[in-house]
Amino acid sequence: RCRPEETPATHPHIAAVRRACSALDRAEEPLSLAELADAAGMSRHHFARMFKAVTGLTPMAWQRERRRARLGAVLHEADSVTTAIHAAGYGSSSRVYEHGAALLGDT
């Protein structure tokens, strides 16, 4: 329905996506689509479509990118690569080495 007084930034879906992004950024463990959708009060499929329409990424891709960014930031400060891997939220070093070059921005 047409709601000219409602700007895109105040649309309820935008607020739900912002809350989900904040939750994903703070989460120690990956959050499932079901958990995010329940928190937003939506079905999984509707939430996934809405999230991607707003951010351009799926919730899983968002989590992956944020974790990769944390790894890049922590690598410079950590005592060892293993410490950085765990501080960034990876469960094991094999997940990082599996995608190593791509995770660190190398081609």
The model's confidence at residue 73, banded by pLDDT at 50, 70 and 90, is confident
Instruction: Report DSSP letters for the chain, one per residue.
Output: ---TTS-GGGSHHHHHHHHHHHHHHH-SSPPPHHHHHHHHTS-HHHHHHHHHHHHSS-HHHHHHHHHHHHHHHHHTT-SSHHHHHHHTT-S-HHHHHHSHHHHTT--
The string of pLDDT tens digits covering residues 11-69 is 678 889 999 999 988 887 889 999 999 998 899 999 999 999 989 999 999 998 888 88
Most confident of 19-23, 76-80, 97-101: 19-23
Which pTM was predicted? 0.71
Amino acid at 47: F
Does the pLDDT value for residue 7 go beyond 60? Answer: no
- Rounded mean pLDDT of 78-90? 84
